[in-house]
Structure 1
Amino acid sequence: MCSQARAQTDEERKTLRVALALNLAMFVIGTTAGLLAQSSGLLADALDMLADATAYAIGLLAVTRSPVFKHRSARLSGVLLLLLGTGILLDVGRRALGGAEPVGSVMMVFALLSLAVNVTVLRRLSRYCTGEVHPRATYLFTRADVVANLGVCVSGAIVGITGSRWADLVAGLLIGAYVVREAAEILRDSRDESKATTA
């Protein structure tokens, strides 16, 4: 029994390390691409990758800790995601007022690359989607990323075809709103599980 639990813990750590490395790399690439393409959607997607990397790092710390530490780790992840979502929404507003001309082709290329990375990570995390609160939080983070990638890809195609920047701003707005929703779900899960543990 102990050896089985140890194997599961080692596998969870390995999955989180891979996810952490991939998301840090995609954050750097995405930020560069977002600045070059002047895209709110790409920058939102890249920042989401950074938030995910933070969640994976917190998850690594929580793997062998107490239930209380795990609940607090999930809560911290939720708060970080909430701050990120709010920041994305503020950036979309700033760009809407200040103006920007996003490059649709760059948006699509990065979105497809990010989608491939996130689908790979999501498949590895899928076994934890009904487990403890902290690995479940990392699963929700990655699921949000997949939705965001699809949104940026579609908006990139629209920008490329029409030349309008509004599709990019709408993508950024939707990503920000979805990130805030996922943050609320993580915080709610953490609170409910904490209450159940206390009871």
Structure 2
Amino acid sequence: MGDNCCQKKACELEKLRKQQSKVLWTVLLINSVMFVVELLAGIKSASLSLTGDSLDMLGDALVYGSSLYVIHKGRKAQAKSALLKGAIMFLSAVAVFARASYQLFAGSTPEARVMSAVGFIALLANLLCLFLLTKHRNDNINLSSVWLCSRNDIIANTSVLGAAGLVFLTNSLLPDLIVGFMLTIVFAKSSGKVVSQSWRELQQA
């Protein structure tokens, strides 16, 4: 009876891990494609917010890759992976801040139409990722930190669309700069939260 129970639990755990792996591979592919799309569009349109969001997509792709690596490993490995995610979020914040500082001195106004079109596509892509990840957000710290990354993407995409609208109305680069600096703050705060959670998990492990 006990052996059957253990076997059943092991089968259920393996099934859950396969589901998690499938979801992570899907969102990894989506974010990798969107990183290239947004980066090229951000450079072409001189948009800080699009460029910043593309870096976020790259960071997320790395995050999902590390999550796949530790999906069959223990709590300690998953906590280390979450710590890496926190570091990637922080580096994204630094990169966006650096780009914002450059844009401020360059003074070029971004192309609102390109920002709107690509920002909308990115929003749809990230809504799909969030939907796929929500089911597994409470499975463990690995999936919890991944879900938080995806939630940040929705905030970033919405901000990009808002900035595009304001750029179009005002013909000014300031809305794009403001959103860029706001993304820096969001990334930095999320980084602190993930690092704190993963550090506690490491201490317990």
Structure-2-length-normalised TM-score: 0.93
Aligned match for 1:187, one of 191, 195, 198: 195
Which of 69, 82, 102 in structure 2 is aligned with 1:61?
Answer: 69
Shift of 1:65: 0.7
Say which SS state the counterpart of residue 99 (structure 2) adopts. Answer: helix
- 1:44-55 paired onto structure 2 within 5 Å: 44-55=52-63
- Asked if the contact 2:167–2:176 (Cα under 8 Å) also holds between the matched residues in 1, the reply is yes
In structure 2, what is the equivalent of residue 128 of structure 1? 136
Shift of 1:191: 1.2
Out of 160, 166, 180, which is 1:152 matched to? 160
**Is 1:74–1:187's contact at 8 Å kept on the other side of the alignment?**
yes
Aligned pairs for 1:91-106 within 5 A: 91-106=99-114
- The percent of aligned pairs where both chains have the same amino acid is 24
Q: What is the match of residue 83 of structure 2?
A: 75
Counterpart among 32, 39, 43 of residue 31 in structure 1? 39
Query: How far apart, in 2, do the equivalents of 1:18 and 1:87 lie?
Result: 26
For structure 2, the 5+ residue unaligned runs are: 1-8
* Cα offsets for 1:73-119 (capped at 9, x unmatched): 11011111111111111110111012122011111111110110101
1:107 to 106, 115, 119: 115
Aligned residues: 197
Which structure would you say has the larger Rg? 2
The answer to whether residue 93 in structure 2 is matched with residue 85 in structure 1 is yes
Over the aligned positions, Cα root-mean-square deviation in angstroms equals 0.9
> Secondary structure, in 3 states, of the residue corresponding to 1:23?
helix
Q: Tell me the SS of whatever aligns to 1:128.
A: coil
Distance in structure 2 (CA, Å) of the matches to 1:50 and 1:34: 14
Q: Counterpart of 1:13 in 2: which secondary structure?
A: helix
TM-score w.r.t. length of structure 1: 0.96
C-alpha distance in structure 2 between counterparts of 1:6 and 1:30, whole Å: 36
